[in-house]
Amino acid sequence: MARGKKGSDDNHKSIPTSRVSRLTRMARMASGVAGGMVAEGTRQLRAGNRPRVKDLLLTPANARRVAEQLATMRGAAMKVGQMLSMDTGEFLPRELADILGRLRSDAKYMPPAQLRKAMVQAYGPDWETLFHNFDMKPIAAASIGQVHKTTSPDGREIVLKVQYPGVAASIDSDVDNIASLLRISGLLPADLDIQPLLEDAKCQLKGEADYHKEAKFLQAFGDMLGDDERFVLPEVLPELTQRNVLAMTYVDGSPIDTVIDLPQAQRDRVMTALIDLMFMEMFKLRMVQTDPNFANYQYRRKTGEIVLLDFGATRRFKAAFVNNYKKLAAAAIAQNRDKVAAAAQRLGYAVGETGSEYRELVLELFMLALEPLRYDVIYDFARSDMARKMSELGQEVTNYKDFWQAPPTDAVYFHRKLGGMFMLASRLKARVNVYQLVQRWLG
């Protein structure tokens, strides 16, 4: 039996499912932003100011409009916003990156009527007879789907990850509409070609919307880590898994950032394990869970185990990319800037002409980004000023518009993971010898 919740819930938002309704949402957002610009422009002119278009566009009110609409639409619209905020921050105005960054923590969920329709689609009209104590309120909600706790027919405590209706069918149009909106707004440089990144995003998102595919990734990670006492993962329930519903055993844990309350040694151990896992994913499996959301990790205080969740954003990498990334890391450790440039170029980055100011700036960015693994010392993430320096150097890149190009897509996805690990380590105030962890893979 499904359990409903009494009273109103501000997080209930019906998701537009048809292409027309989603396009209408997009148009409504654009017109709202335009109206906001007119109102703000009028106010500024009355005050005797001559505002720039950029300043009119990036007002707090417009920021709320964009974030609210994308969070309501979810799916690819929300996901592309998340990706752009994480992966092209050096090309976006900081204000826009902040707007899109809100989407990493702002997710609404389906009202009961829409949820029931999704469950009927997956299991038929008698779906409620399959599950006991199905909670209509999700325990988690994200861009592609939401997670509900229930009891399986054989009495096990399980969770069902239910995909939002219309998400899979709207991926292409959502991505194209978001790209058009950014172009029309003038917030992206006119010469910056993000089309390869967007096309790859469509493929990646279609993979994430196939829960049978995610189930295979979850099983693969479960097989790899089955004997590793540091980690615990849910088990897939194939007999209950559908294309739009992923059924798994329930694994309890506390949010990973609650580890901040633990002694330094335990925080260091947790973060060392997660960074070690990242290198294992990249250099051994060539299969990386690329979503940097902290909600994908939990912690069990009684056992010290790290719970790993959500493998929808898992991405496979070609051997050539992995080998070139190894060469990039090794060159950075050796402080050989020529080899860093060569490896970066093989990865697909534009590094500029030898001796040019742009080349030196790009090399400085790489050396700074790889700072934690360059020295055989314990790296104190809490005291690091790398994020600030990266932001400052990223702003300098905007002075070289002739050289701008979207980063290679494989690098974008791996750097999402790398950046997520850095942010989590900083949040936990962890201290880790990253150099020693990466050395085992570079030999």
Catalytic residue positions, numbered: 291
Q: What does the alpha-carbon distance between residue 299 and residue 373 come to, in Å, rounded to a whole number?
A: 25
Helices 195-208 and 75-87: crossing angle in degrees, nearest 10, is 130
Strand order in the sheet with 254-255: 231-232, 305-308, 297-300, 254-255
Sort residue 81 into left (φ over 0), alpha (ψ -120 to 50) or beta.
alpha
Asked if 286 and 318 touch (Cβ cutoff 8 Å), the reply is yes
- H/E stretch holding 369 reads helix 357-369
Beta strands in 279-358 (DSSP E): 287-289, 297-300, 305-308, 314-316
For 129, residues 6+ apart whose C-beta sits below 8 A from its C-beta are: none
* Residue in 296, 154, 309 with CA at minimum distance from that of residue 246: 309
12 beta partners = 109
Task: Answer yes or no: are the C-beta atoms of 150 and 138 closer than 8 Å.
Answer: no
Greatest C-alpha distance within the chain: 71
Distance CA 261, CA 342 (A): 43
Q: At 148, is the secondary structure helix, strand, or coil? A: strand
